[in-house]
């Protein structure tokens, strides 16, 4: 079904841009289109349809995984020579992800071929998730949340941030995840003011506020969630900041619920909550991002985004306030956009006061 959808789009592009060939090189895009889970190969599209090229390490796997796609093998031959021999293209389009070095080599080998860079060809197709994708993301989130609940009793004075991160990762893997979707953030005390404070050797202390931002991969799909833990009771200041972040989060989700689909406007709704209390400049990152085969994918909810939220999109909402030298608070959930946004999380956004 994904291949059929892609075929419709790709065949139009061949025609509009007068191309003979399209080359897809990013492995998650190849996985999305063909089901191939290996780490090396090239997907071509021409008037004949799709063709997947891989090397002998993966030929058998590709024939099993890529149903409906012709698979060929390359052995001891330069990619450019193979392309010339198989397609003799005059004009070809290549995804933007090829390295400048690889592109130079390819152009040297294909001297008479015009090359055009194609932007976000498959990324745009990936925005709206089908039900199978949505279920995998939900499962990845479920494993992440269950594991977090199980490690809450580790938040004790003297336990290092990285011990918590390791335990969390180990539990997610034990439950069936293939790994973390990014390096787990456990940022305690004044480190919580660093939006990406990856777990360090620092032991957590009584009174610390701890930002935990984590996620795992299930069947290729990522989850991403942020919660705040406090060793003790929240101070007045911490409560005030938590409420502002919570309001920003909810106001953004309400904007989507009432029909806003312009991603930069959704970002602005959250930002304006912080502006109202004079903390606008303490929110320096985007409000959220798409989640799927990659931890950060389209759409981007940020001030410069040109993206629109499409039905079927799975995206995070994660406003945060960071006070250097003091503390930070970020609250992140994942939403699925049906007619209205549906929260995929089970854990509440409240601070876990321990």
State the residues that interact with Mn ion by CB under 5 A.
224, 316
Q: Calculate the alpha carbon distances from 105 to 23, 80, 101, 108 in Å.
A: 15, 8, 6, 5
Closer to Mn ion by Cβ: residue 93 or 197: 197
**Closest CA relative to residue 147, chosen from 172, 179, 164, 166:** 172
Q: Which is nearer to Mn ion, 121 or 291 (CB)?
A: 291
Closer residue to Mn ion in complex, CB, 164/287? 287
Smallest distance from the beta carbon of 182 to Mn ion, in angstroms? 8
CB of 217 to Mn ion, least distance (A): 14
Residue 219: count of CB within 10 angstroms of its CB: 15
**Residue closest to Mn ion when measured from CB atoms:** 224
- What is the rounded CA–CA span in Å between residue 275 and residue 268? 10
Tell me whether residue 40 or residue 183 sits nearer to Mn ion (CB atom). Answer: 183
- Give the nearest distance from C-beta 211 to Mn ion in angstroms: 12
Cβ closest to Mn ion, residue 147 vs residue 316: 316
Complex with Mn ion: residue 30 or 210, whichever CB lies closer:
210
- The nearer residue to Mn ion, 133 or 224, going by C-beta atoms, is 224
End-to-end CA distance of the chain: 48
Q: Closest Cα to residue 222, out of 31, 7, 23?
A: 31
| Nearest Cα to Cα of residue 196 among 292, 286, 123, 277 | 286
Q: How near is the Cβ of 133 to Mn ion at its closest, in Å? A: 18
Which has the closest alpha carbon to 309: 332, 338, 283?
338
Task: Provide the 8-state DSSP code for 78.
Answer: -
Residue bearing tokens 């009771």: 233
Written as one string, the DSSP assignment of 172-235 is: HHHTT--EESSPPEEEEGGGGGSTT-B--SPBP-TT-EEEEEE-EEETTEE--EEEEEESSPPP
CB of 288 to Mn ion, least distance (A): 7
Which tokens belong to 345?
């999380």
Q: Which residue, among 271, 263, 270, 268, has the nearest Cα to 307 in the 3D structure?
A: 263
Minimum gap (Å) between residue 318 Cβ and Mn ion:
5
Nearer to Mn ion, 145 or 224 (CB): 224
What's the rounded Cα separation, in Å, for the pair 347 and 222? 17
């Amino acid at each position: 079904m994904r291949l059929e959808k892609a075929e419709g789009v790709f065949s139009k592009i061949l025609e509009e841009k007068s191309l003979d060939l399209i080359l897809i090189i990013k492995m998650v895009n190849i996985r999305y289109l063909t089901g191939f889970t290996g780490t090396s190969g090239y997907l071509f599209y021409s008037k004949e349809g799709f063709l997947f090229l891989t090397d002998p390490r993966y030929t058998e796997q590709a024939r099993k995984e890529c149903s409906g796609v012709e698979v060929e093998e390359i052995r001891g031959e330069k990619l450019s020579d193979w392309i010339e021999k198989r397609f003799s293209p005059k004009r070809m389009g290549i995804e933007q992800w090829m390295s400048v070095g690889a592109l130079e080599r390819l152009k040297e080998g294909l001297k008479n071929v015009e090359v055009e860079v194609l932007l976000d060809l498959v990324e745009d197709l990936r925005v709206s998730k089908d039900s199978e994708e949505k279920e995998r993301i939900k499962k990845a989130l479920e494993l992440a949340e269950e594991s977090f609940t199980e490690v809450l009793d580790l938040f004790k004075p003297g336990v290092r941030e990285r011990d918590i991160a390791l335990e969390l990762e180990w539990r997610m893997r034990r439950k069936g995840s293939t790994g973390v979707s990014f390096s787990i953030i456990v940022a305690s005390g004044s480190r919580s003011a660093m939006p990406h404070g990856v777990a360090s050797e620092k032991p957590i202390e009584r009174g610390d506020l701890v930002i935990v931002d984590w996620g795992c991969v299930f069947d290729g799909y990522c989850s991403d969630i942020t919660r705040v833990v406090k060793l003790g009771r929240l101070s007045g200041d911490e409560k005030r900041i938590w409420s502002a972040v919570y309001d920003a989060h909810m106001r953004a989700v309400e904007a989507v619920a009432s029909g806003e689909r312009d991603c930069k406007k959704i970002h602005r709704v959250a930002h304006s909550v912080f502006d109202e209390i004079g903390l606008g400049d303490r929110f320096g990152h985007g409000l959220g991002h798409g989640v799927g085969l990659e931890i950060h994918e389209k759409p981007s909810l940020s001030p410069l985004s040109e993206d629109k939220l499409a039905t079927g999109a799975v995206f995070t909402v994660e406003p945060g306030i960071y006070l250097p030298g003091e503390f930070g608070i970020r609250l992140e959930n994942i939403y699925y956009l049906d007619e209205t946004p549906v929260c995929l999380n089970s854990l509440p956004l409240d601070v876990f006061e321990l």
